[in-house]
Structure 1
């Protein structure tokens, strides 16, 4: 819709042409705009914001109901099986370092996990476009099949390149095919309680990150690596099938989003949110990759070191739920920037200074898990908040495609710092914490562009 077309909407219609705004047909302002000042010019307000208030009426959000709630359950299951296993890569990193790939450096092994993240994030843009046109089902069927093949291939892998192809690339793609359609579908059902619904779904990844390290460690010791991966993968495959059957998107306006995704880029709020997310992502997953190795570095037993990763992910479960629920009241951006800042600060204070024993490391893991979980759960509602209903899938996917590149570099960069420090984790920790804090500052600027009032509900 051009500015000229919008100006036509701004002209006062003849009496009786449309229902009165005082009637039962009133189209309410979205929650994030209820406290914003009224625009002086409808055309100017709409063209600059990118959040088309006049077009909000085109889509009716149920904010609940059987289909919407079942979609949240299905998304929870999908993320438990896929993103939860991705969060548990530290288990594989530690196992490969001690067994199959013990002749390789930690930095080289971490490329497997970094490729997972890169393929998962980068696939978001094309997957988002397909979702906006065709919905979630076809994508999730492809993701479920891809998940099964990747798990089986990983279980039979022996050489490094085989792990890169099966676990790094193929599994990362399966996560993307199940992750993005699930969360984008939730956004088509919920408006008022969107952050809460997405937070519940993303909590599945946190719970999966708690369960998978413990289960995999016991399976590896009981039946070996190959059968351990296959048993875990079969259970995950059943979950992916259930998720595919339950996740459905709400009917949306027939007109599709912009023909060119480049039209999104001039939106300064989206660009700053994406830039801040890039810096955050550069350091965010480093503890997930290296905290098990760090635990062993401070003489924690091999058995207990895997529980540290489980505690980190357990903190993420609460972090995905509590801030997301609270953000529906005080605003997504109001929580995203502080959560990212405190996440980075916990690395620079708790990890590098105090985490010298199992107890203090567990404390850091739980706190970092909480704030990192909040960051992960709040990004999607922030994107949806500044996007039109027809652009939600594309914009979420575009954001994740942009942050795929720093996610690819974060793990290997941390591994290189570990090698350069001759086994000292200080450089790795400082790099992780400082990049997250820098990203939180850009997100704060994006929040101020949405509403310049410091305490506004945004």
Structure 2
């Protein structure tokens, strides 16, 4: 008969076995936690450190991508008065029209490019395309050549840079996202202040061909550095496909598109035609250019300020108030007066209230869509603005020439005012769409 094993021995052995199993389980959990902590240690925290480098890099990009487009008004004047005096104004206008359209519409190509080569190299590809466009433009002597080089190539390259630069801040910022977007978007206004004097001085000292080459070198240096500094905070892969049609059905996307479409009509009118109204009341073209720089400074400051104001007010509330005020200022100041004091006051005020969408649109998109969809949403809203440019610039030009006889701005002012009021209605639609 086998001896009966003591109960205490059995209990002790079971206890040792449980303790051993438990210690092994704790050890495995500890290893898993260590790996997870290591992974999180690799991912920088948002709103800190390199996030601010990203913001500066994106600011550099938009200073040139949007700022160069603002400086093209100087080129347009040179085409009309010196280079292409025998060509029609409507034909010459296609240079800026094509550039504007591709600057907005071409961003849709950024998503598949980013998926293939990443954010940094996508931005650098945009820089390369822009530099090639500007360099070829410096050797162009025909309008059709400039439509391809300064218009299509430069506009398309800029669109890639803009799309990437409006996507990356959402990956790095959380608490200060709106502020970061405001500072980045301000580059579109301040870029004109930097580039317009440079282009003017080079044209005066040499010719337009060297103005293009100078702009080319500046563009390469600034967006090259900006592109090299870009990187995602963690792994980032945009959504599949060039265009997700589900995003087109989203009411927030629809609202953002219509706001941008109508806002762009009003903005184009004041940016393109108001300096001419100053010339007609006795100011010189050089003075009108200087006042355009003041306008650029106001729009740049506005983009930064509206980003800061989101700490206290909803983006849709800021957008609604600014667009309603824009419509009111058009009719109460520009429409009713030809006094310089009133007109310049209008130009300053409208500069502050006409452009917050360029800051708040990406902020609203980042709050309502995943980071993977953000690039496509930004591209879709910019397509709406590109279509607006394509439709409005030739149409407004024809109205000004036919009904305004190149001297009366009343019809254009009414169109601009109505456009901003309609965009304000879509802001209300956006507010209810966000709640849903």
What's the TM-score, normalizing by structure 2? 0.84
Specify the SS of the correspondent of 1:353: coil
C-alpha offsets along residues 195-238 of structure 1, whole Å, 9 cap, x if unaligned? 11011111112111122222222221122211122123212211
String of CA shifts for 1:102-140, please: whole Å, max 9, x gaps: 334443332221211211111122213443665311211
Structure 1 residue 445 corresponds to structure 2 residue 433: no
Q: What secondary structure sits across from 1:403 in the alignment?
A: helix
* Other-structure match for 2:365: 383
- Partner in structure 2 of residue 338 of structure 1: 321
1:450 deviation in Å?
A: 1.6
**1:419 aligned residue (388, 397, 401):** 401
Structure 2 equivalent of residue 213 of structure 1: 196
Structure 2 distance, partners of 1:124, 1:307, is 31
Do 2:108 and 2:242's aligned partners in 1 also have CA atoms closer than 8 Å? no
Q: 1:261 Cα shift?
A: 0.7
User: Rg larger in 1 or in 2?
Assistant: 2
2:353 counterpart of 1:350 = no
Aligned-partner Cα distance in 2 for 1:324–1:406: 25
| Offset at residue 438 of structure 1 (A) | 0.9
1:298 aligns with 2:284: no
Gaps of 5+ in 2: 1-42
In structure 2, the CA distance between the partners of 1:431 and 1:250, relative to structure 1 (3 Å rule), is same
Deviation at 1:95, TM superposition (A): 2.1
Change (3 A) 1:78 1:254: closer
1-side partners of 2:256 and 2:164: how far apart?
21
In structure 1, how many angstroms separate the alpha carbons of the residues matched to 2:230 and 2:190? Answer: 19
CA distance in 1, matches of 2:388, 2:48: 39
Q: Could you list the runs of 5+ residues in structure 1 that have no partner in the other structure?
A: 1-59, 453-458
Segment of structure 1 superposing worse, 198-207 or 423-432: 423-432
1:401 to 375, 383, 402: 383
Structure 2 residue 347 is the aligned partner of structure 1 residue 365: yes
- Structure-2 residue corresponding to 1:222: 205
Report how many residues are paired. 393
Q: 1:302–1:258: structure 2 CA closer, same or farther, 3 Å change rule?
A: closer
Where in structure 2 are the equivalents of 1:228-267 lying within 5 Å?
A: 228-252=211-235, 256=239, 261-267=244-250
Number of the residue aligned with 1:103? 86
Check whether the contact 1:94–1:293 (CA below 8 A) recurs between aligned residues: no
**Contact 1:117/1:404 (8 A) holds in 2:** yes
The answer (yes or no) to whether the contact 2:189–2:299 under 8 Å persists in 1 is yes
Instruction: Check whether the contact 1:108–1:412 (CA below 8 A) recurs between aligned residues.
Output: no
- Please report how far the alpha carbon of residue 355 of structure 1 lies from its aligned counterpart in structure 2 after TM superposition: 4.7
Corresponding residue of 1:431: 415
Contact 2:112–2:242 (8 Å) recurs in 1: no
Point out the more displaced range, 180-189 or 326-335. 326-335
Give per-residue Cα distances to partners, 1:230-258, cap 9 Å, x unaligned. 12321221101111111222224668468
2-side partners of 1:391 and 1:178: how far apart? 17
What secondary structure, in the 3-state scheme, does the structure 1 residue paired with 2:174 have? coil
Instruction: Give yes or no for contact 1:143–1:174 (8 Å, CA) kept in 2.
Output: yes
Show the 5 A alignment for 1:34-433.
Answer: 62-131=45-114, 134-252=117-235, 256=239, 261-357=244-340, 359-420=341-402, 421-423=404-406, 424-433=408-417
Q: Name the CA shift for 1:254/1:222 in 2 (closer, same or farther; >3 Å).
A: closer
Q: Which runs of 4+ in 1 moved over 6 A?
A: none
- What do the CA deviations read for 1:404-436 (whole angstroms, capped 9, x no partner)? 111212222221111112112222222222212
| Whole-angstrom distance in 1 between the partners of 2:241 and 2:157 | 26
Contact 1:135 1:181 (C-alpha < 8 Å) held by counterparts: no
Q: Which moved more, 1:60-69 or 1:267-276?
A: 60-69
- How far apart are the structure 2 equivalents of 1:267 and 1:337? 20
Between the aligned partners of 2:353 and 2:314, the Cα distance in structure 1 is 16
Is the 8 Å Cα contact of residues 289 and 411 (structure 1) preserved in structure 2? no
- Displacement, 1:97? 1.6
SS in 1 for 2:354: helix
Question: TM-score with structure 1 length normalisation?
Answer: 0.80
Q: Give the structure with the larger helix fraction.
A: 2
1:165 deviates by 0.8
